[in-house]
Structure 1
Amino acid sequence: MNRRYFLGAALSVVAVPAFAKKPADRPRVLAFKHLHTDERLAVTYRVGDRYQRTALQEVNHFFRDFRTGDQTSMDPQLLDILYDIKTRLGDLDARFDVISGYRSPRTNKMLRETSGGVAKNSLHLTGQAIDVRFPDLPTRHIRDAAVALGRGGVGYYRRSDFVHLDTGAVRRWGA
């Protein structure tokens, strides 16, 4: 063993202290801006494998149907997908711009009647879907990161500049 190897090995051991948290134990933080309400939320929604009840209540309110004020319990696994996408893209401080979270049956019906591509039994109705983008990143990067995760549905809406993500069956659509 030469001196350079020994010093490099010693430095690498010192660089990661024994008390450092494992990645799975680190707090999971997400930041959002709702494009329809201009509200912002930064929340530590999970620490280790424990979801934070108060944080999830804040998320439920934030992702409410902005047209009616109705809210539901959002699927925490949807937050995990968002966190994993953010991590995969390498920007742990990134903020998601939210176009749509929960949709009440009334809102979903109205959208089905006035625009295309809205599913009758949308997972937005059950708190299992979200439409997002990043302010300074092409949406195709979010789509690609989501597809690589292999979890849930991924819809890419290039013209409208957003990505639909959900915790349903693995599938994808859009260009």
Structure 2
Amino acid sequence: MSNVVHMQAEASKLGRRLVRWAAAMALAAVASAPVYAEGAEVVHVVARGQTLVRIAQRYRTTVEAIRQTNGLKPGELLKPGLHLVIPEKGKEAEAAKRAAALHSGKPESAKKGAEAGKGSAAGKKNEGKKKDAKALAAEARNRKPATYAQKPKRPGFVRIVRGTEKLEAQLITRGGRLVPSALPGVTRMLRHTASNAKIPIDPRLATLLGMVSDHFGGRTIHVVSGYRPVTPTQYTKHSNHNVGRAVDFMVEGVPNTVVRDFCRTFRNAGVGYYPNSTFVHMDVRSTKVYWVDYSRPGEAPRYDSPVAQAAADEAAGDVDNAPGAVGAPGPEAKKDGSPTSVPQDGGSNGTHPPPSQPVDPTTGNRSSQAPGR
């Protein structure tokens, strides 16, 4: 018996060593990948086995920043030899123009980067390619961003998914009013899954979820977190999650920045954006607030301003049951870029959102949405 126990212990030690070795090899692969300068930007040449998470960690940026700059879809696999322009903070627009020209026009400096490891010299840039690159950059500047807004086939009908559970129900009427019989189903989906505890979800929060669903054409809503009992370790002492008035979620196939911007049109609602996590936070309250938290799952909050710290309803480290967080393994994505369940890093296509701002709370609760939206 002692020999069996000894063999099991040795096997466990070997398994841990293999995990550490694999992680070290992955970091070494990113560190040794070819890198060159394209104008003022750094260009990373993808090697076999590299991921956006590792590349973003090397250059101290975020996954969505690299994705947005290079026009990558959420969940898109990296191909060896792909040239990625690494954006510098505050200069994302210039980096996106450079990436558009690089990926479509292939200026000569890109060839130099590809041949850097082989020691081959590159010739002069072709004047025709220069003109093509300028035209492509101009086209990228003038291209209108996708809104992702669609007319729903069944207005008010929602599809909400959380892990293996699913809710399909008529949540609001065509006039935007809550269907009371659907509220227990929403309460069940937003319960605290770790303890199975639940409290009635605020009807206005359920109504806003229905409006989000309708705005994006009835796309599936993935719930990350809903009701959470108060714990002594939570960063935000008085969270709307503790009283059934908040939800962390994502909309399938829609970048979190787009979801964030639509949620900010609601009156008397709190919206939190977490560029380094997987979800958008939305809650109902008596005022309208917005904050940004740059922390990763499990970290203490890193708000973008003192206003954000005062307004925030939770930190990323407070969220429970949040699979697919940055750096954690996530499921494969469909060919169109939409996630099959929870995307690995949220699909945000904006790195530096507008700073948190206080909003005049005197607008009251006459309407769910702010005027002019």
Give TM-score, length-normalised by structure 1.
0.70
3-state SS of the aligned residue for 1:41? strand
The answer to whether the 8 Å contact 2:250/2:278 transfers is: yes
Contact in 2 for aligned 1:68/1:104 (Cα 8 Å): no
Poorly superposed stretches of 4+, deviation over 4 Å: none
SS of the residue 1:149 aligns to:
coil
2:207 alignment counterpart? 80
- Of stretches 149-158 and 79-88 in structure 1, the one that deviates more from structure 2 is 79-88
Deviations 1:125-175 (A, max 9, x none): 111000011231110001100112333000001111210000012100014
1:4-62 CA distance string (max 9 Å, x none): xxxxxxxxxxxxxxxxxxxxxx862221111xx42111111233565333311111111
Instruction: Assess if the C-alpha contact under 8 Å between 1:65 and 1:104 holds in 2.
Output: yes
Q: 3-state SS of the aligned residue for 2:171?
A: strand
TM-score by length of 2: 0.35
Q: Does 1:100 align with 2:218?
A: no
**Equivalent residue number for residue 66 of structure 1:** 193
Q: Which structure is richer in relative contact order (CA contacts within 8 A, separation 6 or more)?
A: 1
Among candidates 169, 172, 175, match of residue 290 of structure 2: 172
Secondary structure, in 3 states, of the residue corresponding to 1:99? strand
C-alpha separation in 1, matches of 2:237 and 2:247: 16
Alpha carbons 1:151, 1:167 under 8 Å: kept = yes
Structure 1 counterpart of 2:171, one-letter code: Y
Contact 1:77–1:167 (8 Å) recurs in 2: yes
The structure 2 residue matched to 1:29, chosen from 157, 180, 196, is: 157
Structure 2 CA distance for aligned equivalents of residues 44 and 149 of structure 1: 21
Distance 2:249 2:157 in 1: 16
Q: What is aligned with 2:264?
A: 147
Contact residue 247 and residue 281 of structure 2 kept, 8 A: yes
**Which of these residues, 113, 118, 121, is aligned with residue 238 of structure 2?**
121
Q: Which has the larger radius of gyration?
A: 2
1:32/1:42 contact within 8 Å kept: yes
| CA deviations over 1:107-130 (Å, ceiling 9, x no partner) | x445x2xxxxx4111001111000
Cα distance in 2 for residues equivalent to 1:161 and 1:153: 17
**Greater Cα offset, 43-52 or 63-72:** 43-52
Q: In structure 1, give the amino acid aligned to 2:282.
A: L
Residue 33 of structure 1 aligns with an amino acid whose one-letter code is: V
Report if aligned partners of 2:171, 2:178 keep a CA contact under 8 Å in 1.
Answer: yes
Q: Distance in 2 between matches of 1:42 and 1:101?
A: 17
| Structure 2, unpaired ranges of 5+ | 1-153, 293-352, 354-373
Q: Say if 2:274 and 2:280, in contact at 8 Å, map to a contact too.
A: yes
- Find the residue that maps to 2:212 and give its secondary structure: helix
Q: Tell me the distance in 1 between the aligned counterparts of 2:265 and 2:172.
A: 22
Kept after mapping to 2: 8 A contact 1:156/1:173? yes
Percent of counterpart pairs with the same letter?
Answer: 28
Offset at 1:98? 0.5
Decide whether the 8 Å contact of 2:159 with 2:220 is kept in 1. Answer: yes
Larger strand proportion, structure 1 or 2?
A: 1
Q: Secondary structure at the match of 1:121?
A: coil
Sort the Cα spacing of 1:136 and 1:50 in 2 relative to 1 into closer, same or farther, 3 A.
closer
Helix, strand or coil for the counterpart of 2:156?
Answer: strand
In the alignment, structure 1 residue 53 sits paired with structure 2 residue 180: yes
Assess, with a 3 A threshold, how the Cα gap between structure 1 residues 68 and 136 changes in structure 2: closer, same or farther: same
Aligned residues: 138
Alpha-carbon separation, structure 1, partners of 2:169 and 2:186: 8
